[in-house]
Amino acid sequence: MKYALIGCGRIATNHMKAAINNKLEIVAVCDVLPKKMEALLAKHDLQADTSIKRYEDYKQMVAEEKPDLVSIATESGIHAKIALYCIEQGINLIIEKPMAMSIEDADKIISLSEKKGVKVSACHQNRFNVAIQKLRKAVEAGRFGKLSHGSIHVRWNRDHGYYDQASWRGTWEQDGGALMNQCIHGIDLLRWMMGDEIDEIYGATRQQFHDYLEAEDVGMAVVKFKNGAIGTIEGTTNVYPKNLEETLYIFGEEGTVKIGGTSTNNIDVWDFADETEEDGKNKGLKEETSNVYGNGHTSLFADVIDAIAESIHAEEDLEVYTSGANNIFRYPELADQQKASSIINTFEEKQLLTELVQENLSDGNNTGIQVYIGEETPIQSMKDCSVVTATYELGEGMRGTIGIIGPKRMDYDKVIGTLKTITHQLDDLYKKKE
C-alpha cells in the first residue's frame, strides 16, 4: 500500500514509525519547509532513500504519486482543506487531531468520505493503549453494570518555549486552546467509554498564565450523556513545573477503574464485583512510553489498513451489470454526440455507477425507490438524464440495487411501477432460495 505524509513537524515521527512498522510503501513526504522533511527522514535513517520523494505542494504530490493512504499532520487549521482535497481524489486518510476545527468541516469530511467510499480516521491513538483496550472490553462486557459517572483530567505543562516553536500554536484559527489541542485525546476516551451521544454540556474556560496566546490554558466542563451518566472534563497546560498526569476515571454500580500515567497508559485502580483471575493481572499494569504520544500509532495504522483492505474486498465483490445503453440514442435530447458519448463511457467504465450503487447500499434505511432528476443525479455525466433506483434484499444480509436511466421526460409512474414489480419478484426469488 502506497503511503505519503503531509506535514513533517513534531508528531510526524510517530506517523513515520507506524508506517514503517506496518511495512507500508513510503512514497513521499510533504512540507512547506524542506529542512523538516530531511530532518524527519534522517531520524528514521531514510535520508538516502531516493524512492521517497519530497514535495512542498501536497496537490502535486497527490497527482504524481497517487498514494493509497495519506497522513495529515500539519497545523490543525488546514486539516479540513487538505482532507477534502485528498478525499476528492479517492485517497484514504489518517488525520491528526483534531480532524477539523469546526463541526461543519468535520461533517463535510465525513459526508464526502462516505460518498467517495474512502476510509478516514481521526488519529486518536490512545484508544490503542493496552490499559484503554482492557477498559473498553470491560465496558462492552457490561462489567460496570449501570454507569454512574466518569472524568478525564489532563494536567500538563506548556511553557513559552513550547509555543515559540510554531507561531500557529495557541491561535483560534490554526490550533485552539488546551481543550482542543492537549485534552482532545482524553475527551475522546471519556466519550468512548461513557457513550458518544450527549444531551447537554456546560463549562468555563480561562486564560490564566498564557496572555501571549489567543486561546485558553484551562477549561472545565460537565457533560450529561443520553444514557444518564455524567462526565467531567478538566484540561490545562498550567501545571507547574512539568506534565503531571492524564487520568481517566470510570464509575459504575459494579466496577471502578482509574487509568493514569502520562498518557492514560497505566492501570492504577481495577475493581469489579465479579473479579476474575485476569483482573488480578490487570491491577498495577504499566505500559512504558517514551513520550506523551504513547505507543498507539502503530496499532491505529494497522486498524485503518485492515478497514481499507475490507473495503477493497467489498468493492471486488460488487458486480455491476448494464444493458440497453445504445437505447439512449432513441431520445433526441440525449442523441447529441458529446452527451451520448459521455453517457456511454459511464456505462462502459462503470466506476461512477459503482459509486452510485455503493451509496445506495451503504444506507441501511434505504429500501424504497430513489428518483434523481437532472442536476439531482449524483453522476455528473448523467445530469441531462433521470435515474430511478430501487434496493432489494438478497438474503444473508446482502442487498442489491436495480436502476433505470432515461430522459428527464420519462414516464415516472410507469418506471416506478416497473421497478416495484421487479424488486418484488427479486425479493420473492431470493426468499425461495433461502
Q: Is 45 left (phi over 0), alpha (psi -120 to 50) or beta?
A: left
% the chain with pLDDT above 90: 67
Cβ atoms within 10 Å, residue 297? 25
CATH architecture of 318-433: 2-Layer Sandwich (3.30)
pTM, full prediction:
0.74
If we measure between CA atoms, which residue out of 142, 124, 247 comes closest to residue 192? 124
**Is there a contact between 80 and 13 (Cβ–Cβ < 8 Å)?**
no
CATH architecture of 2-124: 3-Layer(aba) Sandwich (3.40)
Tens of pLDDT along 270-325? Answer: 999 999 999 999 999 999 988 888 899 999 999 999 999 887 765 555 667 777 77
Report how far apart the first and last C-alpha atoms of the chain are (Å, whole number): 39
What local confidence, expressed as pLDDT, does residue 37 receive?
98
E strand or H helix at 390: strand 385-395
Residues facing 169 on adjacent strands? none
Averaged over 44-67, what is the pLDDT? 97
Tens of pLDDT along 200-239? Answer: 999 999 999 999 999 999 999 999 999 999 999 999 999 9
Averaged over 61-71, what is the pLDDT? 97
Q: Where along the chain do its domains lie? A: 2-124, 130-295, 318-433
Strands 230-236 and 147-155: parallel
pLDDT tops 90 at residue 432 = no
What's the mean per-residue pLDDT of the chain? 90
Tens of pLDDT along 234-260? Answer: 999 999 999 999 999 999 999 999 999
What local confidence, expressed as pLDDT, does residue 396 receive?
53
CATH superfamily of 130-295: Dihydrodipicolinate Reductase; domain 2 (3.30.360.10)
* Confidence band for 371, pLDDT divided at 50, 70 and 90: confident
216 vs 368, residue with greater confidence: 216
Report d(CA 263, CA 267) in Å as an integer: 11
Report d(CA 270, CA 264) in Å as an integer: 14
E strand or H helix at 206: strand 198-206
- Which residues neighbour 237 within 8 Å (Cβ) at sequence distance 6 or greater? 156, 157, 158, 178, 182, 210, 217, 218
